[in-house]
Amino acid sequence: MLTLLKLLQDGRFHSGQEIGDALCISRSAVWKQMRRLEAEFGVRLSRVRGRGYKLTNPLALLADLTLHERGLPDIWPFYIYESLDSTNAEAARLLTAGVEPPFLVLAERQTAGRGRRGRVWQSPFGVNVYLSLVIRVQKGARQLEGLSLVVGLAVMQALRASGLGEAGLKWPNDILVQGKKIAGVLLELTGDPADVCDVVVGVGVNVNMESESGIEQPWTSMRLELQHLIDRNDLVCALSRHLHGYLARHAELGFAAFQDEWESSHLWQGREVVLIAGTQRIEGLVLGVDHVGALRLSVNGVEQRYSGGEISLRLCDDHRA
């Protein structure tokens, strides 16, 4: 199937004879392969008599050779999969199998992609970036402080460098454009957080997705914002360069070195919000973040600080709050 998708990814018509030759099958078997392609990968095909078949929407598939040519191995080793349950889960399996960090896991599709608070991360085939980076933390809790916020900064800067100058942050792990989510971060740890541990840094970016019915919050994608097909190979390399630089600086200096930069990019700075932690709802004014990345809220005129993976933040005028 991947051979067929690579042939069709340009969005141009390809004749049944051309497709049959590429797959070493008869022209009569091509139609069955097309039906299977639509069923298994969720792509849409157009067929015109005398011209052949084409993808209704072109794809930009990840390519091992292209990523090598663009220098990704110079940053860290990487693994590409056609389909995974989740890149974070595969990263954990590779760690268990003895693969040494740092390394990167990429997939064309996730069948069980995860977001924060147990939410499903919609992961259709071939349109977005699903990426997990594994790093080893050897300086204990200090090197973990504000780590997810620094990853968010790196992702945001990569998006801005790709043309999305309005991309900004929402505490703790979301990247938004025009108030709509375009990317998110999920960190998972194994080992001793007080000593040496491995961190799986999961990043999901909506790249070329144009429609998706399963997302329960306002969202957008790079293609919707920029109005052209994005080369996901370029984006993966850009993300990797930004992550490498930000993580190296964070390991040396801690989150305090990024506090001002993070606050200057926080879209909800100075906004009235509702913080939800389990059954607890707290209304306050966003003051910023502290030197370890905790959220600073003014609650009834008193500054309070909040951190933790199960916290959700909403604007006060958001009906979903």
Neighbours of 284 (CB within 10 A): 22
Q: Please say if the pLDDT value at position 154 is more than 70.
A: yes
Mean pLDDT value of segment 75-96 = 95
Mean pLDDT value of segment 140-155 = 91
Q: Please say if the pLDDT value at position 242 is more than 70.
A: yes
Q: How confident is the model at residue 7 (pLDDT cuts 50, 70, 90)?
A: confident
List the structure tokens of 169.
Answer: 């942050």
Mean pLDDT value of segment 231-253 = 96
Q: How confident is the model at residue 214 (pLDDT cuts 50, 70, 90)?
A: low
Q: pLDDT value at position 115? A: 55
Contact 241, 282 (CB under 8 A): no
Task: Calculate the alpha carbon distances from 26 to 4, 16, 31, 272 in Å.
Answer: 14, 9, 10, 64
Q: pLDDT value at position 226? A: 96
Q: Which fold has domain 2-55?
A: Arc Repressor Mutant, subunit A (1.10.10)
Q: pLDDT value at position 57? A: 82
Mean pLDDT value of segment 152-176 = 96
Q: When comparing pLDDT for 123 and 91, which is higher?
A: 91
Nearest to 126, CA basis, from 9, 218, 212: 9
Query: What superfamily in CATH does domain 64-264 come from?
Result: Bira Bifunctional Protein; Domain 2 (3.30.930.10)
% of residues, the chain, pLDDT over 90: 63
Contact 222, 234 (CB under 8 A): no
Q: When comparing pLDDT for 242 and 83, which is higher?
A: 242
Q: Please say if the pLDDT value at position 227 is more than 90.
A: yes
Q: Which amino acid is at 184?
A: G
Summarize the annotated binding site for biotin as residue ranges: 86-88, 110, 114-116, 181
Query: Active-site residues: which are they?
Result: 116, 181, 314
Q: Please say if the pLDDT value at position 1 is more than 80.
A: no
Q: pLDDT value at position 2? A: 75
Summarize the annotated binding site as residue ranges: 86-88, 110, 114-116, 181
List the structure tokens of 29.
Answer: 């078997």
In terms of C-beta density within 10 A (0-12 exposed, 13-18 middle, 19 or more buried), how is residue 1 classed?
middle
- The strand pair at 78-81 and 103-107 is best described as parallel
Question: Can you tell me the distance from the alpha carbon of 279 to that of 308, in angstroms, rounded to the nearest whole number?
Answer: 15
Q: Please say if the pLDDT value at position 41 is more than 60.
A: yes
Nearest to 186, CA basis, from 309, 312, 313, 314: 309
**Highest CATH level, class, for 272-315:** mainly beta
Q: When comparing pLDDT for 240 and 3, which is higher?
A: 240
- The strand pair at 197-205 and 280-289 is best described as unpaired
Q: pLDDT value at position 321? A: 39
Q: Please say if the pLDDT value at position 270 is more than 50.
A: yes
What is the residue extent of each domain of the chain?
2-55, 64-264, 272-315
- In tens, the pLDDT along 94-132 reads 999 999 999 999 999 998 876 555 555 567 889 999 999
Neighbours of 162 (CB within 10 A): 20
Q: When comparing pLDDT for 32 and 206, which is higher?
A: 206
Question: Can you tell me the distance from the alpha carbon of 303 to that of 189, in angstroms, rounded to the nearest whole number?
Answer: 30
In sequence order, which ranges of 76-127 are alpha helices (DSSP H)? 87-96
